Amino acid sequence: SAVISQKPSRDICQRGTSLTIQCQVDSQVTMMFWYRQQPGQSLTLIATANQGSEATYESGFVIDKFPISRPNLTFSTLTVSNMSPEDSSIYLCSGSNRAGNTIYFGEGSWLTVV
Amino acid sequence: TQLLEQSPQFLSIQEGENLTVYCNSSSVFSSLQWYRQEPGEGPVLLVTVVTGGEVKKLKRLTFQFGDARKDSSLHITAAQPGDTGLYLCAGAGRNAGNMLTFGGGTRLMVKP
C-alpha cells in the first residue's frame, strides 16, 4: 500500500487564524485529494490537488477558504483560512494508486478551533 | 452526483454474533472500497472490489460486490471487540479522477 503522511496530526487554533496542513506521499501515488470529516460523520471531498495548477474544488468549497498547492507529484498542502469553530474537523490527505482503483489515506489532521 | 446509502448507521452487538453492513446506490461504480477507521486515526483500506459479483474474504470478513456494481455488503462472522470501529464504503466513479463517493458510515461496537 502507499505511504501517506501528513502534519500536523493535531492542533488547536484561534478563531480568525489560518493553518496549513502538509501531506507527503510516496511514488506509488498519482492523484491526490483532500477530504474533511466532521465529528461523527463520514468523509466529504474538498478538492483534487492538481500538480502545478489550481485545485479542482467540489461544490461548497472555495479556493479562498481552502487554498491548495501541489508543487510536485509527492507533496501537497491544504490551508484552512480565517478559521471559525465550524471548521473544527479532521482533514485527510489521500492518494490514488497508479491503477486508479484504490485510494489510501493519511492519518488525518485533527483541528479544533476555539 | 453519485450517492451511496450505507446501513445500518449504528450497530451494537455481543461478541460472537454475526453482522452485515450494506452499501447501496442507483449509480454504477468502477470499483468499491471498504475502510475501517478507529478513533484518532485515518481510514484504513480493507478491500477493493472491482468485478460485478466478486466476493473477497479477509479472515472473518466477507465482502461482496453486486452483479450490477451498484451495491456491496460486508459480512463479519463471529465479531470480536477488536472489530469495533467506523466502517466506510466508498465507490469510485467511471469519470476521470477516480474520486471516491463515501457512504455515511456504520459505527460498530462489539461488546465482550
Q: What pLDDT is attached to residue A82?
A: 97
The residue of A6, A43, A93 whose CB has the most chain B CBs within 10 angstroms, and thus the best one to mutate to test that interface, is: A43
- Per-residue tens of pLDDT for chain B, all 112 residues: 568 999 999 999 999 999 999 999 998 998 899 999 998 888 999 999 999 999 999 999 999 999 999 999 999 999 999 999 999 999 887 664 567 889 999 999 999 9
* Number of cross-chain residue pairs from A and B with Cβ atoms under 8 Å apart: 59
Helix H segments across chain B?
none
Cα separation, B101 vs B90, in Å, equals 5
Q: What pLDDT is attached to residue B2?
A: 63
Contacts of A41 in chain B (CB under 8 A): 104-105
Provide block-wise average pLDDT over 10 residues at a time, chain A (114 residues): 90 97 90 91 92 92 97 95 96 86 88 96
What is the three-class DSSP state of A85? helix
Q: What pLDDT is attached to residue A97?
A: 79
Question: Nearest-CA neighbor of A36 among A74, A113, A90?
Answer: A90
**Which helix (H) or strand (E) element contains residue A18?**
none
B55: distance to nearest CA of chain A, Å? 17
Contact A100 B40 (CB under 8 A): no
Kindly state the cell numbers that stand for B69. Answer: 456494481
